[in-house]
Amino acid sequence: MQTAPHFKCLLTTIESDSHTWNLVYLQRFIHEHGGLAKILGCCVSPGETVDAIKGFRPDLVVVSSVNGHGFHQGRELIANAVQALGAYRPVFVVGGKLTTVEEDNKWIRVDLQEAGYDRVFVGKSAIDDFTLFLQEFRQQAVASG
Ligand code: B12
């Protein structure tokens, strides 16, 4: 039996990224963890993401990128969003293959969290870490009604 989703998620990417199977995968994954995930599309400008956040009012925004430009354009995106959204602030996470040098990904996490993301999921443990994150996110959503 299908249960109603416990939280709303907007699934977006950066302006240069035309990959789509990462988005489809994550949509199914978030659905399996109790969320309703709307895919905005590929090659999305920061302005389009901000407009969609204002319209859809998600609890969670997931930025996924695999083309190697996610680190720089992901920073642009969060800077735009923080400035444009004001007091309304959904949880923002970013992940995927964000640079071409991901062996050393600690600095990527630190930098993007300083830029404004709540969590950054990169490297081999990305999906395992995201699973735990989604389990906690769902529990909090259920607890807050
Ligand atoms: C298919 C593909 C394409 C297709 C995309 C078609 C489509 N409709 O999506 C086409 C041919 C268009 C393409 C183009 C390009 N591609 Co391409 N592509 C691939 C390929 C072969 C598979 C990607 C895929 O669909 N995987 C399946 C999905 C389900 O997995 P995924 O994308 O890896 O996502 C997983 C994780 O990354 C992670 N994840 C992703 N996002 C997030 C977010 C969060 C929050 C979390 C937790 C996890 C997470 O979870 C997903 C599931 O495990 C990969 C190589 C590979 N084998 O991975 C290269 C690859 C992604 N492409 C690459 C490149 C460089 C390009 C091009 C620049 C090539 C070129 N010179 O033109 C262009 C860029 C186009 C653009 N503007 O973005 C590089 C990226 C390099 C990097 N980041 O270091 C890769 C890795 C190939 C390589 N080894 O060099 N590509």
Q: Lay out the sheet containing 35-39: strands in order across.
A: 35-39, 7-12, 60-65, 91-96, 119-121
Output the six-digit token pair for 5: 């989703």
Model confidence pLDDT, tens digit, residues 17-72: 999 999 999 999 999 999 999 999 999 999 999 999 999 999 999 999 999 999 99
CB of 79 closer than 8 Å to CB of 49: no
Q: Which of 84, 85, 71 is nearest to 114 (CA)?
A: 71
67 lines ligand 1 (CB under 6 A): yes
- Predicted pLDDT at 103: 62
Quick one: CA dihedral 51, 55, 59, 61, positive or negative? negative
DSSP string, 5-40: -SEEEEEE--TT----HHHHHHHHHHHHTTEEEEE-
pLDDT at 83 over 60: yes
Average pLDDT, the chain: 94
Closest residue by Cα to atom 1, ligand 1, is 19
CATH of domain 8-143: 3.40.50.280
85 lines ligand 1 (CB under 6 A): no
Measure Cα distances from 51 to 47, 60, 125, 141 in Å: 6, 15, 31, 24
Model confidence pLDDT, tens digit, residues 95-106: 999 998 866 678
Pocket-testing residue among 12, 15, 22, ligand 1, by greatest number of atoms within 8 A of Cβ: 22
